[in-house]
Structure 1
């Protein structure tokens, strides 16, 4: 049974919270890095460092998301408090599913864009993971477009997710956000 939070509703397990916040932090770093790295006239050293970070952090996010998905299948999330209306709970479920889906689309499209473009992913190279596809300009273009469009949808959903969490924490004060808080008192 998951621990209880201060509002006496079930909390997410510590592993689920850790995975959530690790992935969230990486994604929130990836967004500006991805935007800055494509700016024309950026100093080459900075641009290279940002591309290196962005590609390799994308692989880490993909692996963490797989672990998170496996953990979630084994340990479903705790139920929402009864104070959350059914429509609101449904919207939250859809939003979470879309967030996960879009993160996976970003990881896959980023990987395909890099590999089909003939670029390395240094972390995978260091681990001896072979290039599974080789250069493919057509696939590179589709993956690049998919990555760019999905990024916009992901940013909107992240904004909605953060807004909803803050609404629960600051306005409703119903304990919904406290269930995923990184540090909490456990009864």
Structure 2
């Protein structure tokens, strides 16, 4: 594929700002780490020490992810996403936009439902409890059960969206090499 001489400059102007990239990659790493932790921690017969460590990690990192996603949405409200290259077909643009907003929404639902499950279930959030941050939800077993169900079923919808997002990123980075991945790449864009 031949690229125009002005491609690096066009790419730089259409790239996400460094803070948006930082938030994206921190959230991505944390989400990718919490999914297997969440899957493993509920296995029967798992060593209690391992299970406790995974629960502590999953609960506390889940709240951090929620706070980072909210931060990212606030930042994005004041710093809109750069436009996709004109070469991206309209249907692909539409799918990308829907996928991004669904990822944000489901990450928030996961974070809120996880927080409510833990708080209403009377379980500690070790890191936040140690900082003296009060719980926002009173203990309630029925609320905890509803939140647990929401958390469980949202995961079923979230994982395919994450895989679609990763697949699209790899498609643009490896196959198309059209600069779409470089807009959010963890390294600085060439100028």
Question: Structure 1 length as normaliser, TM-score?
Answer: 0.94
Aligned to 1:32: 36
Instruction: Say whether residues 1:89 and 2:93 are aligned partners.
Output: yes
Q: What SS is found at the alignment partner of 1:134?
A: coil
Instruction: Say whether residues 1:63 and 2:67 are aligned partners.
Output: yes
Aligned to 2:8: 6
Q: Is there any run of 5+ residues in structure 2 with no aligned partner, and where? A: 1-5
Shift in CA distance, 121/85, structure 1 to aligned 2, threshold 3 Å? same
Given the alignment, which residue of 98, 103, 108 partners 2:102? 98
Aligned to 2:132: 128
* 1:184 Cα offset (Å): 3.2
Q: How far apart, in 2, do the equivalents of 1:80 and 1:120 lie?
A: 43
Aligned to 2:142: 138
Deviations, residues 2-46 of structure 1 (Å, cap 9, x unaligned): xx9737231110110000000000000000000000011111111
Contact 1:116–1:137 under 8 Å retained in 2: yes
Q: How far apart, in 1, do the equivalents of 2:189 and 2:56 lie?
A: 38
Q: What SS is found at the alignment partner of 1:79?
A: coil
Instruction: Say whether residues 1:115 and 2:106 are aligned partners.
Output: no
Q: How far apart, in 2, do the equivalents of 1:170 and 1:181 lie?
A: 13
Q: How far apart, in 2, do the equivalents of 1:5 and 1:177 lie?
A: 14
Deviations, residues 45-84 of structure 1 (Å, cap 9, x unaligned): 1111101100110111111112111110111010000000
Q: Is there any run of 5+ residues in structure 1 with no aligned partner, and where? A: none
User: How many pairs does the alignment contain?
Assistant: 184
Deviations, residues 94-131 of structure 1 (Å, cap 9, x unaligned): 00000000000000000011111110111221121222
Aligned-pair RMSD on alpha carbons?
Answer: 1.4
Contact 2:121–2:139 under 8 Å retained in 1: yes
Q: How far apart, in 1, do the equivalents of 2:164 and 2:189 lie?
A: 27
Aligned to 1:48: 52
Q: What SS is found at the alignment partner of 1:6?
A: helix
Shift in CA distance, 5/76, structure 1 to aligned 2, threshold 3 Å? farther
